[in-house]
Every structure is written in structure tokens, then in C-alpha cells.
Structure 1
Amino acid sequence: MFPIAWRCVLSVLLAVVGLASACSARAADPAAEARQAWQLLDYIAVDYPAAIQNGEVVDAGEYAEMREFTASVSAKLAALPPGAGHAARLAKAKQLEGLVAERADAEQIARSAGALASELLTVYKIEAAPAAVPDLARGAALYAQQCTACHGATGRGDGPAAAGMDPPPIAFTDADRAKHRSPLSLYQVISQGLPGTAMMSYAHLSNDDRWALAYYTGGLAYDAAAREQGAAIWADDDQVRRVFPDLAALSGATEADLSKTLGADRARAIIAYLRGEPSAVAASSPVNSNASLALARQRLQQSVAAYRSGDRGQASALALSAYLDGVEPVEPQLGSRDRKLLRQIESAMATLRARIGEGAPTSAVEAQAAAVGQLLDRSESALADRSNSTTAAFLGSFTILLREGVEALLIVIGMIAFLRKAERRDVLPYVHAGWIGALLAGGVTWAIATYAVSISGAEREATEGLSALFAAIALLSVGIWMHQKSMAGRWQQYLQEKMSAALTRRSATFLFVLSFVAVYREVFETILFYAAMWNEQDSSAILAGLGLGLAVLAVIAFALLRLGTRLPIGQFFRFSSILIAVLAVVLVGKGVAALQEAGWISQALAAVPQIEWLGLYPTWQSILAQIAVAAIAVLGFVANARGAKAMPSAHERPRGNA
């Protein structure tokens, strides 16, 4: 029995690893055409001033290259599969092509190219930051091995192989050019190469190596004095540190953009320091709440702009991204500090998506987006307040584990108690293998999410939603079946004679799957919550909350098992069937709500309160799903009762048919 059960565990773990590997491969290789289009747009924004000045061609070769690159951007976008906002993006590419043909001023070209490039980053999920702090020593070694022949030992573009190259290799020490280049743009060139030049792709290098090389080359234009000045500014100015809450912000930053807010000298110093010491950014902020909320605001602005232009599909996608990629990552911290505010934000953003979906007047969408923006401002203040952070971290850690653990506990303990009552302890290993396998799979998920691939908000919600719906369907069928058996008589004889046939290997495998899914769903969500919540300052409080939560769950498990052994078997089955049906109703509500948050199911708002522990959410789709499951359960129970009345009582049955 144990070998079979643990083979089930191994199969599931392999499936989890395989699925995560597939996700990783997908995430590491987004649409190549979109990446190359982004790279060309960045190149156009940086190099256009070398071709056109004051409306006049100053370098015919550079200008011809700009014309070629803008045409290539249009062609690459046209080759992408159509989808939400595709036509609008293609129109923007054509508009940029026209601006270059008209020899528009450099600022207008940079603005148009930058806006379209930012949209491509969002829509096609182009990698925008390293997974870990780049290793500058590794970057220097790679540069010496791979780049000096063309770019020269110090990055001046004067390597021995540079002679005769047209166009010549880039001089990384060119201060004017370096102002407009970000580590992200350098990373993309290293990864993709540059068409029409001698710059080849270095995609054979690992992701970490390419980022290390990008940061190293991005720092060659800055001297030690600038870096020292930047270090002093970074240490003393909290406002500057807020500009770079994470590596994504640093990777996309340029000196030119930063100078608009900090001034030229301070911007140059900060960029010089952080490109040489990117670890300073990673160490400066335990949570990325500022970056997440800034991203949410950016997506809201883009969503409203898309709606104004008539692109409802893109507006809807951006509004959803504002929640999934901007708000959801800080839910654990915000929920532990001000849960009411978190619920207000969720409701307001759902209303915004509903307004967009129903084609409301532009003024209504703008007003709702403004209301969301005000709530985000309040959230930023709440997250910045560290006065009660230790208490909030402790309570958040405790309640998260308790909330997620009780649901899984009720299902697993119910199955264990049922099998004990049925005297089928031989099937218990399947149930134990299921929940233990789920814990192991959770550990694998944590490792993959931490070191291999980022799990997006949409992927998280979809996983939670689908697993909740599966568990709801399984529990509904089990609940009706248990209620049917509770209507019968002579329980002990029935169980002894019938359960051996009822619990075949297929049924035991079903119990394994149900145990696994019920626990993995909660483990998956809990892991992501703790990962988002974790920081060194509050680590002791978080661990204390975790420990107390585990202790309370252990007490609940013990009490449930004792209750199951003391209840008469008929009462046990009736009580369990009702409890399981209620859990099915709760889970179907949560499942539909999660799929709505992932963008899989549309939202029609309903004027009801959100009661999370009941799975009640203010959308008609989730409410109707709960009503449907409750109705099926009630009809099943009524049919069971009528069937029991129509059957002869236990003592009237022939003994051979018991």
C-alpha cells in the first residue's frame, strides 16, 4: 500500500516540477519579435539625435539606419499575432515611422519610441530585471573574454577588430550616449544582437551572465569620483532611495530621465554609484511596496489613456495588470495593517474593470480610476507607517496560516475520520501521501518561485481558482454520497460488507488526489503570502505568528479527530456530509472569484458584502455559482431522504442483502 501511495506522490511532484519548468521556459522566452522591436525602439530613442539636428540630416548613414529601424519595428509588430491593442500599437509604430521620415525633433521621437517600448514591456512580459543582484566581477571577466576585441579594453570602441566595421562598435565610455542607455537596453542588445551591425547575440550566456555584462558595460562611462559622490547621496537622501525600490526600477533607469527630477549632477552620481553597486538597491528596502503601488498607478494611467483612445480590450488588460502586478504583491503587508482599506481597494478596482467592460462613459472610468488612485495613496501611507509593524507582522502571519490551514484541515481530517469509522485504515496511506506530497510540492513551488521563475499574479489566481473548483466538485459528490449512506441502517454491518467494494484502488487514488489538491491549494497561497510578507526587520514576529498558527492548527486537528471518534457513526456521516457540502459552496465561490481576478471570467458587480470565510464575493458570477452548488446539494439530500423512506428498514431486509 505504501509503495503505491508514494508512487502517487512522486508522480505529482514530477508533474509540479514539469509544469514549473514549462512556465520557466515560457517566461524566459517571450515573443522574440516583440523583444527585438523593443530593442530597436530603444536604439532609435538613443541614436536619433546623431542623425537629425534641428530638422536637418547631419549624418546620412545614421538617418538611413533610423528609417530602416522604424520600418523594421512596424514589420515586427505586424508579424505578431493579433490581440487586444495590437492594431493601436501597430498604428503607433507607423506614426513613429512617419515622424522619422518628417525629421521630427529628437525629444518627440524619444517620447514616441519610449511610450511604445514601455507598452511592449507590459503586454509581452519582456524581462525587465535580473532575478538576483548582478555580479560585477563576473561581468568584468566576461567583458575581457567576449567584448574587448571590438569595444576595447576600456570600452572606448577601439578594439583590434573594430577597424573597418560599419557602423563602428559602440564606445561605452561616451558620456552623452550613456545618459540615454539603461542596463535593460544593454541586456536586450546582448541577448538579441543588433541587426545590420556586427553585434551578435550572446544568448548562449546564462541570464545572470548577460545581466552582469549589461551592468558592467553600463558603468564604464562613470569614474570613481562620480561613484563616491553617488554613494554619499544614496546614504543621506531617503527620497532618492525611494526612486529605486528594487532592481527593476534600477534596470530601466537612465541618467537622462533621472536628471529631470534630481538634476544633472546628482543623477549622474547616483547612476554611477548604483550601476557599480546594485546590491545597495536590494539591501535598501525589505519590501517593494512603493514599486508595486507605483506600477499600479502607472497601469491605471495607461488603462485610462487606452480607454480614451477607444481600445477597451487594452484598457481592461491594463486595469487587471494594475491589480495583479501592482496591488496583489503588497496584499499581505497591507492586509495585516489595514484590512478594511485592502477590501476597499479590491472593490474599487473591480468596479473600474466592470465600468471598462460595460463601456461606461469616459468620465465615469476616469472618476473611478481617480478614486482608486486616492486609495493607493492611503495604502502607501499605511505601508510606510512602521510604528506597529511588529504587531501587524505577527498577526498577519498568524491569521494567514490559520485562515488557509483550517479549510485544508477540515477536508483531510474528515477523510481520516471517515476511513477510521469505516475500518479501512489500509487506505489511510493514500490520504497521508496526498497531504504530505502537497507539503513537499509546496516546498518545490517555493524554490522555483524564489530561484527559477516568477509566479505572476494571474498565474497564482488561476492556480488557486482551478484547484478550488476541483475541490468543490469533488466535495459536493462526496458530501451527497455520505448523506445517502447516513440514511441507511445497520451501519457497522454495511461498512464491513460494502466498503471493501466501495473503496477500490480507483477510489483510494481519488482520496489521494483530493487530499493533495485541498492541501496544495492552501500551501501554494500561504507560501506566496509569506514570501511577499517576509523582511528581516519583522522576521521574529513573522516566525512567532507562524509557530502559534501551527500550534492552533494542531489543537484543532486533535479536537476534530476526538470528536469524530466519539460521534455515533450515523450522526458522524450526517454531520460530515453537511459540513462537506458547506465547504463545497465556500470553495466554489472562492474559485470563481480567483478566476475573475485572473481575468478568466468577467465580473458583474452585486450589492452584497464580501465575506471571505464564506466564499461570498460581490459579483453575480460567484454568487450564482454558490447558489447552484447549494441547490445541487439540497436536491441531493432531499433525493437521499426520499430514497431512504422508500426502502425497507434495516431489520426488514434479508440478511444476505445487508
Structure 2
Amino acid sequence: MPQTWQMLDYLATDYAGAVKDGAIVSASEYAEMREFATTARQRIQALPSNAARPALLTQADQLVALVNAKAPAARVSQQAHALAAALLKAYPIPTAPDHAPNLARGAALYQARCAACHGATGHGDGPAGRQLDPRPVDFTDPTRADQRSPLSLYEVISQGVEGTAMASFADQLSVADRWALAYYVGSLAYSRQSAAGASMWQHQRSARAQIAGLKELSQTRVDQLSPALGTKQARAIVGYLRAHPEALQSALGGLPLARGRIEASVSAYKAGAKAEATQLALSAYLDGVEPVEPLLNARDSALRARLETAMGAYRTALSKGAPLQSITQQADAVDGLLAQAQAVTAETAADPSSTFIGAYTILVREGLEALLIVVALLAFLRKAERPMQVRYVHAGWMLALVAGGITWALARYAISISGAGRELTEGLSSLFAAIVLLSVGLWMHQKSMGGRWQAYLKEKMAGALDRRSAWFLLGLAFISVYREVFETILFYAALWSEGQGIWLLGGIVAGMLTLALIAWVLLRTSRRLPIAQFFSASSILIAVLAIVLTGKGVAALQEAGWVSVTVAPWPRVELLGLYATWQTLLAQVAVVVLLGAGFIFNLYRDHHRRRARTAAGPVPMEQDV
């Protein structure tokens, strides 16, 4: 598949050298273009079957027809690039480096590996290149460079070009080196515009709206951006970003991107492209705000909450086709909040005390829910006199901590957790935990009534808990803790970049000591409670946690764009899972109704059993199951 994509990209770029105004200007080049179009079509036909392949073949047939008809270069280039993009979507391959390429390394590699043919400055005039036919590519030619992306250059470096002196470097250079070389070569045509591009990138929202990260930059061509930005500005911005790809990975870069995409969403809505406008608005949050959210939350959590709600309401208004005036007003309100957030996060290094307090409050806030669930499980097992099963609960929360560490390592060194992925993980795990807690709460309420706990412990615990329930407890402890760990490590990653590591660690230690103290107090208190009261109190606690997690789960799905947002007139209290939207409230009301119905049913059953027992006379406790 990479070779097919490269062939299409090469055809899109070089067709202009074969045909002009419907006439062949180079017979050999034209023959090669026809061969590439036909071969690409054959290779697509040979790809594994999937739902997208018929459409790809149709596009390939259209490309072959255009080349055979000597169609204008712009039309052929557009068709070839569109087919290449559709091919990548249908048969994905890695299209970007894991980290920002090292341009200094790329420059050194170029002089060692490429300058002999392509020239020391990239003009295609190296001493060895003068003897070659065809001549080496002039990397400084902006017209040709406008049609090449870093991915195009990476594939050429990796695969080589058949029929030329350009050989494959896949066996000689690492993936990181090939990306570094591709980015360096791709910047040569725009070196003079790079300084101007830095200023444009920092201050022009329309520019920020185009490129969210390395994945997009690696596939971006100047001719893609020219319609929106103009060729001069597009060249300047592309030149700057290719020479300084690390600018995309700045933690503070997301808010200008978000502002640009909100502006672009309004323009798309005005043009009648409602779906595109909604997608741009979602990208503004997931690609722009989400990466900066932990830092913003540590600096001004109230502003972060208002921003999330406003952006969710704006997306819903777009999807429902609200009047343009209303859309514009909401977009202006969102932009104002983004500007405030940009000012807050643009401050220099955080104050040590704010870092300490932020680290402390994050751990206590995020850890308290998980702690309450784990403590309830441990207290239950001790009341049930099942000390052997305690290890399953401990194993669950310990595995969650290990999984959290692995998640952080993968996010830091191997993969990038997208905003949508993060919100979906939080939302779905919260709802799963809420469902489990709902059933556990109803079960514990049932056992708290009429002494039924005694019969349960005597006749059920020994078998059921040993076989299945022990693993159930491990799973509940794991999911309850992991969802909080997942959230917390992302907050700490943002605070760590502030350069206050000692104060951050101090806040973490203080938070851990606080949680340990809370756990000790809760366990001590639970030992003193009669077991019936313990079951009753635990059922209420777990029911409340189910309601809280339901609110948090739906809110996370709203942020991921899975659930719409309708603002409601009440305060937002995240610790209680209370969000100012009707969707979260209705979900929580549904859980309350289920809990109420379950508790009433338990009361009715207990009352009915008592009446039956009274009518039948005394029975041994062991038969009261």
C-alpha cells in the first residue's frame, strides 16, 4: 500500500511536466504517468477487500481516464491527491512521526547522504547529480514543493523511485532519521519565509485552524492551504512549521488552534456546511482545549468548567441548525472564554504554592471516589469474615495503579492519547462503574433488611465469593481506581511541565497521606457499626457514588461529542457529579428512579416475608434465605 500511495503522489506532482494545455510535452514522462495511473488501479484491485474498495476503484478509473484524455494538470493532481487520501483512510499506515523530528539531525543527514546528488543547498546541482538522467529534484523549487508533503518525501526516502538513481534508505536509516530528513528537505523551498511564518502562526487564528498536530502537518501541502490562506501565507506557515515542528507540540499551542477552529466553524456554517461546522467545533475542544485542560484546571478550574459547558452548548446549537445570529453570538462568547484561558495559561512558571495546592487537590478530589468504593469493599469483606478475599480487592487497585503507569508511559513515549480517546475512556468507564455500583447498592440494601445478611453469610458467602465474586470484586476495584488514575496522570503531566517538580511531588505525598487518613477513619468506623447498619450505610454510599459517576460519565461523553449539550440553570459541582446540563441531570434522575424503585421493592419484599413468617410461626434463621 505505501508504494501505491507514493505512486499516486508522484503522479500528482509530475504530471504537469508531461502534459500542458492538452498536448504532450514529454512523451517519456507521459508514458510514465499513464503507467503509474494504470498500475495504481491494479494495485488497489489487489488490496484486501473492504467496504471502501469499490469507491477507490471508481476513483482510480476516473484518474486513468483523465490521464488518457490529457486533462489539465490541476484536475489530474486533484484527483490523484483525493484518491491517495481516500486510500490512506481505507487502508491506514503510519503517516507521522511519534515526536517532532530533529531538524539539525536532518540537516546533517542531508549533507552526508543527499548533497552529492541534490547539491549542498538542495538545488539539484550536486557533482554526482550533474551526470544523472533524469536530473535530481530541485528541492528549492516552490512550485514543485507546494505539491509535496513531508509524508511524500518520507515515502520517497523509504521506498526510493523506480527508474531513477533515487534508492531506498529504509535499511540504512531509522524511521526517526527518515522523518528528520523528510522535514528538512521539505523546508528548503520556504527558508526565506520561515521568519514571517512564525509571526503568522502565533497571531493568526485562520492559520491555527488548519493544522492541529504532527499527523496533519506531515500530510499538509501548500496547495491544500492556499485556497484558505493564500499562497504566500501558506508557504510562510508551512516553511515555519516544517523547520520548527516542535511548535505544534507546545502545551500552550492548543488554545489558539481552538480559537481558529471556532472561527472556521462559523464560516462553514455560513456557507451551509453544518456537518463540517460541527466537526470543526468538536475539534476545537478535543484538539485545542483538551490538551491544555489539566493546566487550565490547575490555574482556574471555574473558567475551565465554563469553557467546557459553553463549547458543548455551541456544538449542540450547530448540530440543531440554530439561527446564524445565535451561532455567531455563541461563538463570540466561546472565543472570549478561550481568550481568557489563553491569558491564564500563558503566564510564566507557576507559583510553587499553586503547584503544591493543585497537586494536592487533584489527588484528593480524583482519589476520593475510588477510595470510598475500595474501602466499602474491604469493610464488607471484614464484616463477612472473609479475610482471604481481601487480597482480590488489593490486587484490583494495585493493578489499576500499574495500568495507570503503563498508560502514562505509552502516552509519553509511544502513542498520543487523543482528546476523544481520553473522554471516551473516562465516560464509558464511569458509566460501567455506575451500573455495577447500582446493582451492588441494591444488593447491599436487600441484605441490610430483616437479618437477611446472617443467612447470606452462612449459606452463600463461602461458595459464591470463592468462585466468582472474588474476581468480580477485583474487577470493580480495578475499574473504579483506573478511571481516576487515568484522569490524574494527565493532570500531573501538565503540572510537571511547569518546572516545579519538588512542589508537585510534595502535593502528591500530602494528598496520599490525606487519603490514607480518610481510609483509616472509614475502616475504623465501619468496624464499630453493627453489620445491619453497615450494610444499610454502605448501600446508601454506593448508591450516591453511582449517581455521581453517572453524571461524570455523561459529561465526558458530551465532551467527546457523543451526547448533545443543553445548558441548565443550576450550578456545576463536579465533586458531586452535578453538571449544568439537562442531559446529565436526566441520566442521574433515571438512576435515582431505579434506586428508589429497587429500595421500595426490597422494603415490600421484606414486609411480605415478615408477614409470611408471622403467619407460619418461628423458623430457624438458616432457612431465611
Structure 1 residues 147 and 566, CA, compared in 2 at 3 Å: closer, same or farther? same
Matches within 5 A, 1:574-593: 574-593=536-555
Q: Where does residue 621 of structure 1 map in the other structure? A: 583
Preserved contact between residue 42 and residue 117 of structure 1 (Cα < 8 Å): no
2:172 aligned with 1:209: no
Distance 2:110 2:6 in 1: 24
Offset, 1:214: 1.1
Q: What SS class does the counterpart of residue 579 from structure 2 fall into?
A: coil
Question: AA paired with 1:506?
Answer: R
Structure 1 segment 513-552 matched on structure 2, within 5 A: 513-552=475-514
Unaligned runs of 5+ in 2: none
Counterpart for residue 411 of structure 2: 449
- The one-letter amino acid of 1:653's match is V
Q: Which residue of 2 aligns with 1:354?
A: 316
**Cα gap change, 1:81 to 1:314, in 2 (>3 Å):** farther
TM-score, normalized by length of structure 2? 0.76
Query: CA distance change for structure 1 residues 67 and 419 in 2, over 3 Å: closer, same or farther?
Result: same
User: Which residue pairs with 1:289 in the alignment?
Assistant: 252
Kindly indicate whether residue 283 of structure 2 is the aligned counterpart of residue 315 of structure 1: no
- Larger mean CA deviation between 151-160 and 577-586 belongs to 151-160
Distance in structure 2 (CA, Å) of the matches to 1:302 and 1:62:
40
Q: Which runs of 5+ in 1 are unaligned?
A: 1-31
**Is it true that 1:425 corresponds to 2:387 in the alignment?**
yes
Return the alpha-carbon distance in structure 2 between the equivalents of residues 380 and 81 of structure 1. Answer: 44
Change (3 A) 1:49 1:405: same
| Alignment partner, residue 170 of structure 1 | 137
Structure 2 residue matching 1:531: 3-state secondary structure: helix
Q: 1-side partners of 2:382 and 2:416: how far apart?
A: 42
Identity score, percent: 50
- Answering whether residue 597 of structure 2 is matched by residue 635 of structure 1, we say yes
Q: Distance in 1 between matches of 2:43 and 2:328?
A: 33
1:254-273 aligned within 5 A: 260=232
Distance 1:300 1:116, change over 3 A: farther
| Residue equivalent to 1:654 | 620
CA distance in 1, matches of 2:300, 2:80: 40
Q: For the structure 1 residues 77 and 538, does the alpha-carbon distance in structure 2 shift closer, same or farther, using more than 3 Å as the test? A: farther
Query: Do the aligned residues in 2 keep the contact of 1:246 with 1:288 (CA within 8 Å)?
Result: no
Please give the per-residue CA displacement for 1:171-225, whole angstroms capped at 9, x wherever unaligned.
3355775688664553355467779988677677654232122134346679xxx
Q: CA contact under 8 A between 2:150 and 2:219: conserved in structure 1? A: yes
CA shift in 2, pair 1:249/1:610, >3 Å: same
| 2:539 counterpart letter in structure 1 | S
Structure 2 match to 1:3: none
Corresponding position: 1:409 with 2:376: no
The whole-number CA distance in structure 1 between the counterparts of 2:284 and 2:91 is 15
Cα distance in 2 for residues equivalent to 1:102 and 1:566? 86
Q: Does the residue aligned with 1:596 lie in a helix, a strand or coil?
A: helix
Segment of structure 1 superposing worse, 118-127 or 183-192: 118-127
Q: Are the counterparts in 1 of residues 458 and 622 from structure 2 also a CA contact under 8 Å?
A: no
Q: Which amino acid aligns with 1:543?
A: L
The higher-RCO structure (CA 8 Å, 6+ apart) is 1
User: Residue type of the partner of 1:654?
Assistant: P
Alpha-carbon shift at residue 587 of structure 1 (Å): 1.0
2:420 to 458, 469, 481: 458
1:357 shift after superposition: 1.7
Instruction: Name the CA distance, whole Å, in 1 between partners of 2:351 and 2:217.
Output: 27
Deviation at 1:654, TM superposition (A): 1.7
Change (3 A) 1:267 1:218: closer
Equivalent position to 2:99, from 128, 132, 151:
132
**What is aligned with 2:474?**
512
Q: What is the CA-CA distance between 1:620 and the residue it aligns to?
A: 3.5
Counterpart among 154, 174, 180 of residue 187 in structure 1: 154
- How far apart are the structure 2 equivalents of 1:419 and 1:403? 26
1:475 aligned residue (433, 437, 441): 437
- 1:286-345 C-alpha deviation (Å, 9 max, x unpaired): 95223x123223332443344344443333222211111111111111122222322222
Query: Contact between 1:588 and 1:622, CA under 8 Å: does it hold in 2?
Result: yes
Between the aligned partners of 2:95 and 2:496, the Cα distance in structure 1 is 23
Deviation at 1:409, TM superposition (A): 0.5
More displaced 10-residue stretch of structure 1: 135-144 or 508-517 = 135-144
Mapped to 2, the partners of 1:359 and 1:495 lie a distance apart of 58
| Post-superposition CA distance 1:342-376 (Å, at most 9, x none) | 22221221122111221223443333223322222
Pairwise CA distance, 1:452: 1.3
- 1:56–1:103: 8 Å Cα contact kept in structure 2? no
Contact 1:296-1:323 within 8 A present in 2 as well: yes
When residues 490 and 56 of structure 1 are mapped into structure 2, their CA distance, relative to the original with a 3 A threshold, is closer
Aligned partners of 2:393 and 2:477 also within 8 Å? yes
2: CA distance, partners of 1:360 / 1:74 = 44
Which amino acid letter does the alignment assign opposite residue 603 of structure 2?
A
1:362-401 matched pairs, under 5 angstroms: 362-386=324-348, 389-401=351-363
TM-score by length of 1: 0.73
Q: Does 1:567 align with 2:529?
A: yes
- Structure 1 residues 610 and 193, CA gap change in structure 2 (3 angstroms): farther
Q: Structure 1: how far apart are the matches of 2:42 and 2:265? A: 25
Shift of 1:408: 0.6
Equivalent residues of 2:11, 2:77 under 8 A apart: no
Q: 1:655 to 1:463 in 2, by over 3 A?
A: closer
Which residue identity lines up with residue 589 of structure 2 in the other structure?
I
Secondary structure at 1:601 match in 2: coil
User: Given residue 169 of structure 1, which amino acid in structure 2 is its aligned partner?
Assistant: P
3-state SS, counterpart of residue 423 of structure 1: coil
- More displaced stretch, 151-160 vs 248-257: 248-257
**Please, which moves more after superposition, 155-164 or 114-123?**
114-123
**CA deviation vs aligned residue, 1:365-407 (integer Å, no higher than 9, x gap):** 3332233222222221222233865444333322222221011
**1:147–1:629: structure 2 CA closer, same or farther, 3 Å change rule?**
same
Would you say the 8 A contact 1:464–1:521 is kept in 2?
yes
Q: Report the AA paired with residue 657 of structure 1.
A: Q
Contact 2:455-2:621 within 8 A present in 1 as well = no
Distance 1:543 1:569 in 2: 39
* Structure 1 counterpart of 2:576, one-letter code: L
CA apart distance, 1:56 = 11
Q: Secondary structure of 1:503's partner?
A: helix
Amino acid of the structure 2 residue aligned with 1:211: W
Could you say if the C-alpha distance between residues 454 and 418 of structure 1 is closer, same or farther in structure 2, counting changes exceeding 3 Å? same
**Cα distance in 2, alignment partners of residues 52 and 173 from structure 1:** 23
1:73 and 1:293 map into 2 onto residues whose CA distance is: 41
Deviation larger for 613-622 or 434-443: 613-622
| Contact 1:37-1:76 within 8 A present in 2 as well | no
Deviation at residue 643 of structure 1 after TM alignment:
1.8
Q: Secondary structure at the match of 1:367?
A: helix
Instruction: Provide the rounded CA distance (Å) in 2 between the counterparts of 1:567 and 1:627.
Output: 30
